[in-house]
Structure 1
């Protein structure tokens, strides 16, 4: 049985009772782009300044703007009104769109869909997840190929809804979509951006229960796991090829001795010439891990000032806080199992196992256990959630109770 089709609500939705307050100098597409950059923590200094200027022009935090919110009954009432409008627009009476927050945080996110104000305001205090609200697939379905692409001009493309063919063209580079969950950046003939051109950056975001493949204009191939974001230039210029990653990705880097390939993940920078490696750098995990399969890479940490060379079969871990780089033997098959369509666990604790399950099946997990539990095994990522949890229960003696999108794990 195929999952129900997913419908996406873009930022451009406007409430019927009042036009959104946007300064004339900021159009909606540009605002969407800047908020996406801010949410992913990859704003350039100029973009940050532009967003700050928008925020102050909006009179954010001042009494007159807050009074407007209060006129609508406060953030919660405003949220309820907007949600009702969403429901009428979508004519979806069977399913409710779920957002990344609950309670008053949910109110902030919905209001952000109108003007971005509360997104910018609350982002300074609370980590954000997706900036696009979506009607999700039924609980229990495994993840699939899905992603959102943000172009340099602020346009957003839902890659779920695209057909094979050309998506866009930027700075002499043509972006193609294929039928197998992949987009390809290709130079249009021999065109190259002039050195004086401002580098155009794109951002691809993979939601929970998603994965996608990307081929950069230099021929480098990137596989992106769930809850991952990659920021990259439309084409590489200068002395290096630099991209910025949050989440997990597997890279097969095209060799170019004169232009090293660099991956930035917060305080970590991985430098390569041409090689195969996996990086796992989720914001909610205690360490960043780089696993090398082929070639060699240099790992540097800006916090500790430490750098080390990694050879095939080794893994470098940087624990958040101390910045030290620890080198160990890698469990390569386990590390890249996600890319090959599997979960492989080798005597792992239940919490780390369920964190992977949570991302791939887009569910939350609660624990009611009174002792540590560890187990291992190989499982298909294409399995239905209930089937997977039955297998877990057999080998772990744990109970898994599924209630909508929440799993309760108990002894």
Structure 2
């Protein structure tokens, strides 16, 4: 069956009058699909106005709705299922969602030792630094900015987009670089001048030319990003990240290169890429499903076959963990949920878990799932998570 739902947070943003042009189009199309959608939206409006709901509570509507669909039975492997039981109407589901919110908030505090819960999922958030030093905070506004070359940059709540150069007169005489930085607890997307699309994860930075005009397309990455490179046989696309240089013509791949992590990863989803370690004079040519891992401590790079979803699913709103150490899982989640970790027992770092999680799941709910499948315990105090046995 075709999925005609939209995220509850999008409806909330509509009520608050914060939709971008792209989001507005999506909302209008959804609203016109049936009378039940309009009734659903009007009910949500009334609930918000009558109950004077606070932003945090409303922000949990999507989480509660997804909890209702998942039907978790104390296991960590969670699969989202879009099945409505016995023709349940959308209007009735609103009542169930609100009940789930109240039940979930009460029972979460019963099941876990939580002093203050301030850990929430991340959101679209980035800082754009122009070549002239000016900076712009992205994530809510929409419109356009003018580059010092005179070219316009389109801004949306989730995307910054550079229009392609249409004629030689628009080509700058020198390479002009901009920088997009995504802070802890954020994510953002960018479409480069050549049509290449980049999804940027938390604590990441991309330095790139506002226009590509020579025989190579080169960008510089710190952190983690997923690339869908526009094919151009005459101009290879090169990503510099840490010790490695990744060269492609047109393909999809992910790179994780955090300074705080021991390993850097390059994972190929489709096409073909060449990964060079120039200092070590070592090269790898990857086929889809292959990955290069570079260990900074041992200065060793290796190639292996992997399930690519484990390394790039974040781009689609999920985390996939397969026999992953708890210390690595919490390190990954801390960048998105923006928290610090304190281990009361060192050995607990090595506990292994497997599972699939949605990036917008409530953090307390996630920790409950881990507790139920192990002897690990958590205590949350504001932005600090204490881990123990």
Regarding TM over 0.5, the answer is: yes
Give 1:150-161 correspondences, 5 Å limit: 150-161=129-140
Aligned partner of 1:147 among 119, 122, 126: 126
Number of equivalences? 275
Task: Report the equivalent of 1:348.
Answer: 324
- The match for 2:235 is 259
Q: For 1:4-15, list aligned pairs within 5 A.
A: none
Partner of 2:383: 405
If asked which structure has higher relative contact order (CA below 8 Å, sep 6+), I would say 2
**SS of residue in 2 equivalent to 1:396:** coil
Aligned CA distance change for structure 1 residues 142 and 192 (closer, same or farther; 3 Å) = farther
Query: How do 1:241-390 residues align onto structure 2 when only pairs under 5 Å count?
Result: 241-371=217-347, 372-390=350-368
In structure 1, what is the Cα distance between the partners aligned to 2:171 and 2:356? 50
Change (3 A) 1:194 1:218: closer
CA contact (8 A) 1:240 1:261 kept: yes
Gaps of 5+ in 1: 6-137
Are the aligned partners of 2:218 and 2:240 in contact in 1 as well (CA < 8 Å)?
A: yes
Alignment RMSD: 2.0
SS in structure 2 of the partner of residue 258 of structure 1: coil
Shift of 1:206: 0.4
CA distance in 2, matches of 1:192, 1:312: 39
Provide the secondary structure at the position in 1 that maps to 2:373: helix
How far has the Cα of 1:160 moved from its partner?
Answer: 2.6
Separation in structure 2 between the aligned mates of residue 224 and residue 268 of structure 1, nearest angstrom? 18
5+ residue gaps, structure 2: 1-8, 17-116
Shift of 1:369: 2.1
Q: Do 1:222 and 1:249's aligned partners in 2 also have CA atoms closer than 8 Å?
A: yes
8 A contact 1:374–1:396 mirrored in 2 = no
Q: Is the Cα–Cα contact under 8 Å of residues 366 and 408 in structure 1 kept in the other structure?
A: yes
Instruction: Compute the displacement of 1:394 (Å).
Output: 1.2
Distance (Å, rounded) in 2 between the aligned partners of 1:173 and 1:310: 36
1:231 paired residue number: 207
1:166 alignment counterpart: 144
Instruction: State the alpha-carbon separation in 2 of the partners of residues 351 and 222 from structure 1.
Output: 28
Q: Distance in 1 between matches of 2:342 and 2:171?
A: 53
Q: CA deviation at 1:141?
A: 1.1
Deviation by residue 1:222-261 (Cα, 9 ceiling, x = unmatched): 0000000000000012111000000000000000111100
**Does the 8 Å CA contact 1:171/1:234 hold for their aligned counterparts?**
no
TM-score w.r.t. the length of structure 2 is 0.67
User: Separation in 1 of the partners of 2:144 and 2:214?
Assistant: 27
Taking the aligned partners of 1:188 and 1:252, their CA distance within structure 2 comes to: 19
Q: Secondary structure at the match of 2:160?
A: strand
Paired with 1:225 and 1:335, the residues of 2 have a C-alpha distance of 12
In the alignment, is the contact (CA less than 8 A) between 2:140 and 2:156 conserved in 1?
Answer: no
CA distance, structure 2, for counterparts of residue 267 and residue 172 of structure 1: 35
TM normalised by structure 1 equals 0.64
Task: Choose from 169, 184, 188 the match for 2:161.
Answer: 184
Q: Which runs of 4+ in 1 moved over 3 A?
A: 191-195, 321-324
Report what 1:209 is aligned to.
185
Give the drift of 1:322: 4.4
Deviations 1:169-209 (A, max 9, x none): 34353210124x111100364355556x2211000000011
Contact 2:164 2:195 in 1 (8 A): no
